[in-house]
């Protein structure tokens, strides 16, 4: 399976390496795909991965992952040939946060996931992985128990594909929250997790589901 990742920052590189290691063919993408800053990643990943332009990564992927800061996400999507994303499963990991007396959600009546689906009406957007730090995104292990991963999206076959991908990355407890409107919950959970990490001085933590 071919994966095109829009972005070659923290998430782009971590997901790209994790997926390449799991047997996927991966293209991460950058404004400067030939920059030496990407050489170490390319060396680590070998023939399963490469770094391209945003447009080439979108064309290449059977599944697309958007791994871009909220501040530039819309602008980057507007540069991509819409045919490259049409009818494809698009995973959105973005978070729209600003800082006013601490971290706050930027969007009040909607969510980043819902806006990405509006920006890409012909794509099948699935929100997931936004609640976890890139440091523990792949084969997550926590001594206190199994972390939970949520997803949401309008298209059930796309969510099935994403569930498989998440399992390949080591996630075992996956909960489908419903349609893409429910990504608001995931973005709130992300913020609650960040605030908990700060108060409890426990970076790179995750929420779990405790059964009786």
Ligand X SMILES: NC(=O)c1ccc[n+]([C@@H]2O[C@H](COP(=O)([O-])OP(=O)(O)OC[C@H]3O[C@@H](n4cnc5c(N)ncnc54)[C@H](OP(=O)(O)O)[C@@H]3O)[C@@H](O)[C@H]2O)c1
Interacting residues with ligand X (CB under 6 A): 7-12, 30-32, 67-70, 72, 76, 93-95, 130, 133-134
Min dist CB 109 to ligand X, Å, is 19
Concatenated DSSP letters for 23-73?
T-EEEEE-S-TT-GGGHHHHHHHGGGEEEE-HHHHHHH-SEEEE---HHHH
Q: Which residue number, 32 or 62, has a Cβ lying nearer to ligand X?
A: 32
Min dist CB 17 to ligand X, Å, is 13
The residue of the chain with the least Cβ separation from ligand X equals 9
Min dist CB 18 to ligand X, Å, is 13
Q: How many CB atoms lie within 10 A of CB 131?
A: 25
Q: Which residue number, 22 or 67, has a Cβ lying nearer to ligand X?
A: 67
Q: Which residue number, 103 or 181, has a Cβ lying nearer to ligand X?
A: 103
Q: Which residue number, 71 or 87, has a Cβ lying nearer to ligand X?
A: 71
Min dist CB 211 to ligand X, Å, is 26
Among residues 207, 12, 8, 197, the alpha carbon closest in space to that of 93 is found at 12
How many angstroms separate the Cα of 183 from the Cα of each of 57, 78, 112, 154? 25, 22, 8, 11
Q: Which residue number, 130 or 152, has a Cβ lying nearer to ligand X?
A: 130
How many angstroms separate the Cα of 62 from the Cα of each of 14, 34, 59, 84, 161? 19, 23, 8, 9, 11
Min dist CB 190 to ligand X, Å, is 7
């Amino acid at each position: 399976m071919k994966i095109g990742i829009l972005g070659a920052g923290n998430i782009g590189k971590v997901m790209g390496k994790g997926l390449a290691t799991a047997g996927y063919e991966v293209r991460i993408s950058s404004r400067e795909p030939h920059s030496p800053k990407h050489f170490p990643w390319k060396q680590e990943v070998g023939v399963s991965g490469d770094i391209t332009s945003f447009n080439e990564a979108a064309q290449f992927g059977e599944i697309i992952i958007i791994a871009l800061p909220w501040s530039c996400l819309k602008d980057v999507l507007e540069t991509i040939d819409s045919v490259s994303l049409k009818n494809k499963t698009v995973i959105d990991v973005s978070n729209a946060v600003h800082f006013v007396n601490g971290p706050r959600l930027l969007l009040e009546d909607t969510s980043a996931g819902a806006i990405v689906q509006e920006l890409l009406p012909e794509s099948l957007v699935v929100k997931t992985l936004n609640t976890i730090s890139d440091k523990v995104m792949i084969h997550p292990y926590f001594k206190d128990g199994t972390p939970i991963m949520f997803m949401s999206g309008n298209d059930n076959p796309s969510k099935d594909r994403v569930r498989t991908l998440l399992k390949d990355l080591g996630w075992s407890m996956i909960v489908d929250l419903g349609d893409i409107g429910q990504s608001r919950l995931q973005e709130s959970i992300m913020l609650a997790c960040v605030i908990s990490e700060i108060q409890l001085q426990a970076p790179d933590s995750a929420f779990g589901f405790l059964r009786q």
